Structure 1
Amino acid sequence: MTSPTPGYGQYCPISRALDVLGERWSLLILRDLFVGTTRFNDLARGLPGLSRSLLAKRLRQFERAGLIEKLGTEYLLTEAGRQLEPILFRLGEWGARWTFGAPQDEELDAALLVWWMHGRVDTSMLPGRRQVLQVRFTDDVRRFWIVVEAAVPSVCETDPGYPVDVIIDADVAGLYEVWLGRMPLTHAQRTGRVTFTGPPALTRRMPAVLKLSPVAGYVAESVRPARAS
């Protein structure tokens, strides 16, 4: 006698969808796939609370469900997987409006924030073959470098040995709130929460170079009435 398939055991499309998507970490893995992360090690780096074994298990589940396919070392979304993108970002919109507030200490991970930020760097706004941005937090002793070489950004947690073009100084919570749309960058700069040091021709470009989170617009919209009151 075979064991029943794990799941909700209800003949309903919502139930069937949750059989595929309802397990822990599943939607966050999809979130990172939607923003362009395709390699296992990069997925693991962007989900530091997720064990590599569980990540591998979830990816296998997605393959069996037809949401992704593995080509070489990359996990690519199928048509079924891509159709989940607006659903997930509508969930983000709902979360921004109804569940999102000031960051909690346990949610603040400087390394993760820099990793997220590097994936949103608009390299077309940077001149030359190589540009180096150093991120220095006022409340975290670690230092980070975003190295853009041949239009490809990467993150270093040790000094890469190249001259630094722009230094970004910020407290961790402040930079999170800017990146996620809770605090306008202009306000953060005016109050000293975020500063850019370097040649003016480069520092003036930083607001365009450092694109915000894909959900920042939802967050900004949700806090706008509070700012206006």
Structure 2
Amino acid sequence: MAGYGQFCSVARAHEVLGGRWTLLVVRELLCGSRRFNDIRRGIPRISRTMLSERLQALVSIGAVTRRDGRTGPEYDLTESGRELASLVGAMGAWGQRWLPRRPAEEDLDAEPLLVDMHRRVRAEAIPKDPIVIRFEIDGQRQPRFLLLKVSEISLCTQNPGFPEPVRVRSPLPALVAWWRGDTDFREAQRMGLAVEGPKALVRDFPNWFERYLFAPIGPAAGEGGAVPPP
């Protein structure tokens, strides 16, 4: 593919980083994913072929290294790749501030949301005894299970064998609106988010998580990006 033909470092960087999916792959590596399938869980719409190509491209420019792990290839950011954190962070902050946030109108997948919730569990706030949260998202054929254990936090397709006292039932837009910071928890409940179980666990549920990294950033004045209260 022909380049931009410019000396400018913005153009040169965009040539290698501006392709579809590339910065999302970097985002997943910045969030701690190291194995191919873990990276893909956070970007479920990328094909295996495309993910392989994007990883190879990042390796070729020196932003990522590939090594053989115990269960297969693992990928790590180099100093060059880690420096992209400021770029990814600036894009996230800009998008949170300036892009409209109307989850009911967005084309959303549940998996990236649940992966992010899994990453941002506050281990010091969860119950001392292991429990499993059952997620039933409208339109999803199978429930998902989040194991909360002091020594392990896991997102699973089946209950790994622990008590399941908390069930979250929700339309995806309501759960997104709370997680992304578009609404508070009560407003998300009015949108259909329901947490069921023992009263104390239901009360504590929101405190088990550090919400989405950019949730504290509100919409720019006059943008009206957040979901209005019903």
In terms of mean alpha carbon deviation, does 161-170 or 43-52 score higher?
Answer: 161-170
- How far 1:175 moved relative to its partner? 0.1
- Alignment match, 1:131: 131
1:164-220 per-residue CA deviation (whole Å, 9 max, x = no partner) reads 03212221110011111111113223x2632322233333322121221112222xx
- Alignment match, 2:208: 209
- Alignment match, 1:60: 56
The answer to which structure has the higher helix fraction is: 1
User: Which residue of 216, 219, 223 corresponds with 1:222?
Assistant: 219
- How far 1:37 moved relative to its partner? 1.6
Which residue identity is paired with 1:36? Answer: G
- How far 1:137 moved relative to its partner? 2.6
Which residue identity is paired with 2:44? Answer: P
TM-score relative to the length of structure 1: 0.84
1:52-84 per-residue CA deviation (whole Å, 9 max, x = no partner) reads 111111111111211122243432222211111
1:108-131 per-residue CA deviation (whole Å, 9 max, x = no partner) reads 222332223212222222233522
The SS at the match of 1:216 is coil
- How far 1:161 moved relative to its partner? 4.2
- Alignment match, 2:107: 107
Over aligned residues, Cα RMSD in angstroms?
Answer: 2.4
Summarize the Cα distance change of 1:129–1:67 in structure 2 as closer, same or farther, 3 Å threshold. Answer: farther
- Alignment match, 1:199: 198
The SS at the match of 1:92 is helix
Once residues 158 and 105 of structure 2 are traced to their aligned partners in structure 1, the CA distance between those partners, rounded to angstroms, is 25
1:143 and 2:143 equivalent?
yes
Which residue identity is paired with 2:193? Answer: V
- The answer to whether the 8 Å contact 1:29/1:43 transfers is yes
The SS at the match of 1:126 is coil
Summarize the Cα distance change of 1:70–1:148 in structure 2 as closer, same or farther, 3 Å threshold. Answer: farther
Summarize the Cα distance change of 1:64–1:129 in structure 2 as closer, same or farther, 3 Å threshold. Answer: farther
TM-score relative to the length of structure 2: 0.84
Which residue identity is paired with 1:135? Answer: F
Which residue identity is paired with 1:222? Answer: P
Which residue identity is paired with 2:196? Answer: T
Q: Percent same amino acid among aligned pairs?
A: 33
Once residues 96 and 111 of structure 2 are traced to their aligned partners in structure 1, the CA distance between those partners, rounded to angstroms, is 23
Once residues 10 and 104 of structure 1 are traced to their aligned partners in structure 2, the CA distance between those partners, rounded to angstroms, is 41
Once residues 224 and 205 of structure 1 are traced to their aligned partners in structure 2, the CA distance between those partners, rounded to angstroms, is 32
In terms of mean alpha carbon deviation, does 73-82 or 57-66 score higher?
Answer: 73-82
- Alignment match, 2:30: 34
- The answer to whether the 8 Å contact 1:182/1:223 transfers is no
1:134-176 per-residue CA deviation (whole Å, 9 max, x = no partner) reads 1123454431111134532222223444320321222111001
- Alignment match, 1:12: 8
The SS at the match of 2:136 is strand
- Alignment match, 2:180: 180
- The answer to whether the 8 Å contact 2:130/2:163 transfers is no
Summarize the Cα distance change of 1:151–1:186 in structure 2 as closer, same or farther, 3 Å threshold. Answer: farther
In terms of mean alpha carbon deviation, does 208-217 or 123-132 score higher?
Answer: 123-132
The SS at the match of 2:15 is helix
- The answer to whether the 8 Å contact 1:122/1:210 transfers is yes
In terms of mean alpha carbon deviation, does 114-123 or 157-166 score higher?
Answer: 157-166
- How far 1:10 moved relative to its partner? 1.3
Higher RCO, 1 vs 2 (CA within 8 Å, ≥6 residues apart): 2
Unaligned runs of 5+ in 2: none
